[in-house]
Copies of this chain bind each other. A is one copy, B any other.
Amino acid sequence: MSTAEETAGGDTSAWGEVTPDAARRLLIAAVEAFAERGYHATTTRDIAGRAGMSPAALYIHYKTKEELLHRISRIGHEKALEILRTASRREGTAAERLADAVSSFVRWHAGGRTTARVVQYELDSLGPDARAEILALRRQCDAEVRGIIEDGVAAGDFDVLDVKGTTLAVLSLCIDVARWFSVDGPWAPDEVGALYADLVLRMVGVK
């Protein structure tokens, strides 16, 4: 896992690679606005206002409103893929690797709920080209999880009827955390991660 998970309160970390400072502030403002109201219901005036700038400033750093979503989506998906890859490539049994992947992936969706919501649910608002690029990243995420499950089946550790379907279900379960998780709810991201890791191990019939 990464050295520092996104903190609660306003996951503004992990955008360090975005420069200059004004461009990063606009990006973070866009993430928050998109997460709260959705891409289409968010106005460029709202984004600029949150970043403490005039509406015109947005267009110095980004060509269009859609470019903002594209950048957010790509960075987010790359982070998600990195999380799954790290868990997949560590040492240990398939069960340990799968539990690690699920718990860290869920922690990211719960803790960085704001970002994850945009990343997972605003995909359809991208144009065809950007969308295709992001879908390629998603297929890689799928491949990482499927790889772990296939390893478990091959080693005789898992009992799975349908590898493809189970992979989809596992990812679906994790992703949907971004929809329902709330910081005001009864669980901390860690707790959901642990619960979900247990549930997923049951789903793959770990022995």
Interfacial residues, chain A to chain B (CB-CB below 8 A): 37-38, 40-41, 121, 124-125, 161-162, 164-166, 168-169, 172-173, 175-177, 179-180, 186-187, 192, 195-196, 198-199, 202-203, 205
Q: Which residue of B lies closest to A166 (CB)?
A: B199
Q: In the assembly, what is the distance between CA of A164 and CA of B180, in Å?
A: 14
Task: Please give the distance in Å from A201's CB to the nearest CB on chain B.
Answer: 9
Other 7 A-B pairs with CB < 8 A, given A165-B187, A169-B196: A121-B179, A165-B195, A172-B173, A173-B173, A175-B179, A176-B179, A202-B203
A199-B203 CB under 8 A given contacts A38-B38, A40-B38, A168-B180 = yes
Whether A172 and B180, one on each chain, are in contact in the complex, defined by CB atoms closer than 8 angstroms, is: yes
Whether B180 and A173, one on each chain, are in contact in the complex, defined by CB atoms closer than 8 angstroms, is: no
Across the A-B interface, the 4 shortest Cβ-Cβ residue pairs: A40-B40, A176-B176, A172-B176, A40-B41
Q: Which of B124, B164, B173 contacts A169 (CB 8 A)?
A: B173
26 contacts between A and B (CB under 8 A): A37-B124, A38-B38, A38-B40, A38-B124, A40-B40, A41-B125, A121-B121, A161-B195, A162-B195, A164-B186, A165-B192, A166-B195, A166-B199, A168-B180, A169-B195, A169-B196, A172-B179, A173-B176, A175-B179, A176-B176, A176-B179, A199-B203, A202-B202, A202-B203, A202-B205, A203-B203
Q: In the assembly, what is the distance between CA of A162 and CA of B166, in Å?
A: 22
Whether B169 and A199, one on each chain, are in contact in the complex, defined by CB atoms closer than 8 angstroms, is: yes
Q: Which residues of B contact A176 (CB under 8 A)?
A: 172-173, 175-176, 179
Q: In the assembly, what is the distance between CA of A187 and CA of B165, in Å?
A: 9
Q: In the assembly, what is the distance between CA of A59 and CA of B137, in Å?
A: 43
Q: In the assembly, what is the distance between CA of A166 and CA of B196, in Å?
A: 9
Q: In the assembly, what is the distance between CA of A203 and CA of B169, in Å?
A: 12
